[in-house]
Amino acid sequence: MRLVPIGVSNEADAKRFMRAEDFSDCRYDGVQLRTDRKKNPVIIMESKRTDPLRWKVVYGFSQVFFRSFAEAVEFCNSRGFQLVKDQVDG
């Protein structure tokens, strides 16, 4: 796992090298990287186990759990969390 100093580099630099999978750990895989209105990272993650709530959105100090990826995406869209451009284009 790459260590990314969040808040130290400017927005353009952060978007260039941060990926959702950089936030994966032994329990969750990072699936999608988004940003909030202040350009802070928001990650949609999938559990490696088949728990009833296998999807979560992590932003700031909060974690919200969902039954499906579609519900997690709808939550992000409703709060204005934008996809990182590299993921949309590439």
28-79 pLDDT tens trace = 999 999 999 998 899 999 999 877 899 999 999 999 999 999 999 999 999 9
Name the 3-class secondary structure at 27: coil
The predicted structure's pLDDT at residue 87: 61
Residue 1 placed within a domain:
no
Q: What share of the chain is helix, strand, coil (3-state, %, to 5)?
A: 30, 30, 40
Residue 5 placed within a domain:
no
- The reported pTM is 0.77
Residue 76 placed within a domain:
yes
As for how many domains the chain has, the answer is: 1
Residue 37 placed within a domain:
yes
Residue 34 placed within a domain:
yes
Residue 6 placed within a domain:
no
Rounded to whole angstroms, the Cα distance separating 83 from 90 reads 12
Residue 2 placed within a domain:
no
Identify the domain containing residue 79 by its residue range.
11-89
